[in-house]
Amino acid sequence: MNRCLPRFVLEGPASVHRPASRMAEKQQRLVLSIIDFLNQSITDGTVKADDKESLEIAIQCIGEAFGVDPSNKQQVERLAVKPATLQNIFDVYLKTMNKVGAASQGTSASASASTSQPKPPTADDKVKAEKLKQAGNSQMTAKNMMNNPQMMAMAQQMAANGGFANLMQNPALADMMGRVQSGNMPSMEEVMANPSLRQLAEQFGELSNRKQSAKSEAEHSVARKANYRVY
């Protein structure tokens, strides 16, 4: 006996059933998977014995509403998604959603970290920086300095300004050169903090500027002579 009440009994004769032939196959596949899940819940004891009959009626009503007959082997073979089950498909969906959510949170955290202000240097960073500074100063020996073209130019300027012997009469410069020869090169901050050395550096700078100006003037003079024509 059909235990599902027809819809026209509940809604009146104006109600029209959708023909089973027009039901989308993908919808029928979903319905068959639901029916299989409900039947499995009855078999494995997920549903209490008191609710078994109500669930069986619900399964019959769902099948009739969507034109799915679990006893029709041909229809079942056409609509079945086995070996997958509705529970398996749902588990895969949940895992995918969890992965997408975790990836989204990771991206947000990375973006937040990239926009945050830089952290101040740690004590370990300061120690490493000081070691690098000392290593750089240790390379500033007399030999390394005189291999530098800029230092060679400074030596020439010193010669033009009275010679090395004359410059070494300056106590501050003599002390600095002694430290350089011993490998204890003073830092630039220490050199510029000494008034005598700072004044000497300014003198060398002025001399260098004058020599550069004289060189430029000589080059312009040669260029003017080369461009001079006699008509």
Q: Can you give the three-state secondary structure of 104-144, one letter per residue?
A: HHHHHHHHHHHHCCCCCCCHHHHHHHHHHHHHHHHCCCHHH
List the one residue out of 170, 162, 163 whose CA is nearest residue 199: 170
Query: Which pLDDT does position 205 carry in this prediction?
Result: 62
Query: Which pLDDT does position 9 carry in this prediction?
Result: 44
User: DSSP 3-state assignment of 148?
Assistant: coil
Q: What whole-number distance in Å separates Cα of residue 37 and Cα of residue 86?
A: 7
Alpha carbons within 13 A on the beta-carbon side of 206? 6
**Helix or strand holding residue 181 (H, E):** helix 171-181
Helix, strand and coil in the chain, % to nearest 5 = 75, 0, 25
Query: Which pLDDT does position 20 carry in this prediction?
Result: 47
Query: Which pLDDT does position 14 carry in this prediction?
Result: 41
**Helix or strand holding residue 206 (H, E):** helix 195-227
Q: What whole-number distance in Å separates Cα of residue 116 and Cα of residue 121?
A: 15
Query: Which pLDDT does position 61 carry in this prediction?
Result: 93
Query: Which pLDDT does position 15 carry in this prediction?
Result: 42
Query: Which pLDDT does position 82 carry in this prediction?
Result: 82
Q: What is the per-residue burial (b if ≥16 Cβ within 10 Å, else e) of 70-107? A: beeeebbeebeeeeeebeeeeeeeeeeeeeeeeeeeee
Record the tokens describing residue 124, joined without a space.
Answer: 């370990």
Q: pLDDT tens digits for 166-206?
A: 656 677 767 777 776 666 766 667 766 777 767 766 666 65
Record the tokens describing residue 178, joined without a space.
Answer: 């002694």
Report residues of the chain scoring pLDDT below 70: 1-23, 106-117, 135-169, 173, 180-183, 185-188, 191-192, 197, 200-231
